[in-house]
Amino acid sequence: MSPAAAALVDLRSDTLSKPTAGMRAAMAAAEVGDDVYSEDPTVRALEERLAGLFGHAAALFTPTGSMANLLAVRALVGLGQEVLCSDSAHIARAELGAHAAYTGITMRTWAGALDQAAIERMFAPDMGPFFVPTRAISVENTHNFAGGAVLGLSELQRLRNFADANGVGIHLDGARIWNAHVATGTPLATYGAIADTMAVCLSKGLGAPVGSAVLGSSDVIAEARVWRKRMGGGMRQVGILAAAGLYALDHHMERLADDHANARLLAEACGVDPSTVDTNIVVVERADASPFVAAARAAGVRVATVGPTTVRLVTHLDITLADAQRAAALLAKIPD
């Protein structure tokens, strides 16, 4: 059989993972109710579980991580105020301007994943009718477009101190906080403690088909519940989806370590130093990304272009060690 005829190994994103048989069984068996009435017991169980894991008072289930980010940042930043974030942050690049379009806030960005000195230079106190006041700082852990990089705990703590000293909030986009936790052993509650609000995704490496959550104080979450409904995100017997999230937390968290090992294997095959790969994302730089993507596709491996010179490979629970080994052997043959 030619490589192209073999099943494709699809490394474009960890969103591509499909619910397992065990997860589907848990979904089918879920107890449900009307969640707009707060009467879905499985959703409530998931929300309580997530809040508890991160040491936050409350959580709210959302259809997407983008909505979780939107509700969280909105809770910290008012109309005409700003959030500071990375120039490659999901909230700045991949949410299609939602924060400006729906909640009337502005963003200013620093270069790279986290730059404390830049943040301190950029911070704008409220000076009345002169400058846009900074109300929050948003960080992403792991940082998607920095190759799934884990942010250092001491840097996050320094940022927390700065935020406290200046009376601004911290939002943590923790779509892949599970990967940071598994890669470093840092307790989830330690990450939770540096953030006023958080967004977490169940539908990335954890493998749920749908579902994210916003976390914060009881007041923030009560307000987020109103805004979720306002934005058309009130859902009914959605315990079917929450059950997938609970199942993912029980069964798919520790195995993320396998994804990280598989990512290092792929990195090596593409000439990327595996010690620079913190989690499940490998960023490969080429003079031109397109021929690499096309050659990979022809060989039976799908990878994503995230910039004219940048290719991204992502491992997840549907990529076995054998898949990763096969993809690595094929990618290693593609000339630079």
Cα(66)–Cα(47) distance, integer angstroms? 17
Q: Which two tokens stand for residue 213?
A: 């959550």
Q: How would DSSP label each residue in 1-48?
A: --GGGSPPEE-S-GGG----HHHHHHHHT-----GGGT--HHHHHHHH
ω into 142 cis (within 30 of 0): yes
- Residue 278 CB, shortest distance to ligand PLP, in Å, is 14
Cα(164)–Cα(316) distance, integer angstroms? 36
User: Could you tell me which stretch among 60-68, 122-130, 189-197, 226-234 binds ligand PLP (CB under 6 A)?
Assistant: 60-68
Between 181 and 326, CB nearer to ligand PLP: 181
Residue whose C-beta lies closest to ligand PLP: 65
- Residue 32 CB, shortest distance to ligand PLP, in Å, is 22
- Residue 95 CB, shortest distance to ligand PLP, in Å, is 7
16 binds ligand PLP per the rule CB under 6 A:
no
User: Could you tell me which stretch among 49-57, 61-69, 128-136, 267-275 binds ligand PLP (CB under 6 A)?
Assistant: 61-69
Cα(289)–Cα(197) distance, integer angstroms? 36
User: Could you tell me which stretch among 58-66, 101-109, 216-224, 273-281 binds ligand PLP (CB under 6 A)?
Assistant: 58-66
Using CB under 6 A as the binding rule, the residues of this chain from 182 to 201 that contact ligand PLP are: 201
140 binds ligand PLP per the rule CB under 6 A:
yes
CB atoms within 10 A of CB 108: 17
144 binds ligand PLP per the rule CB under 6 A:
yes
Q: Which residue has the tokens 């096309």?
A: 294
Among 35, 40, 47, 173, binds ligand PLP (CB under 6 A): 173
Confirm if 175 and 140 have CB atoms less than 8 A apart: yes
- Residue 203 CB, shortest distance to ligand PLP, in Å, is 6
- Residue 223 CB, shortest distance to ligand PLP, in Å, is 20
- Residue 129 CB, shortest distance to ligand PLP, in Å, is 34
141 binds ligand PLP per the rule CB under 6 A:
no
Among 175, 195, 281, 319, binds ligand PLP (CB under 6 A): 175
Cα(310)–Cα(282) distance, integer angstroms? 10
Using CB under 6 A as the binding rule, the residues of this chain from 63 to 92 that contact ligand PLP are: 64-66, 69, 90
DSSP state of 237: S
Confirm if 292 and 334 have CB atoms less than 8 A apart: yes
Cα(331)–Cα(321) distance, integer angstroms? 15
Amino acid at 310: T
Residues that bind ligand PLP (CB under 6 A): 64-66, 69, 90, 140, 144, 173, 175, 201, 204, 212
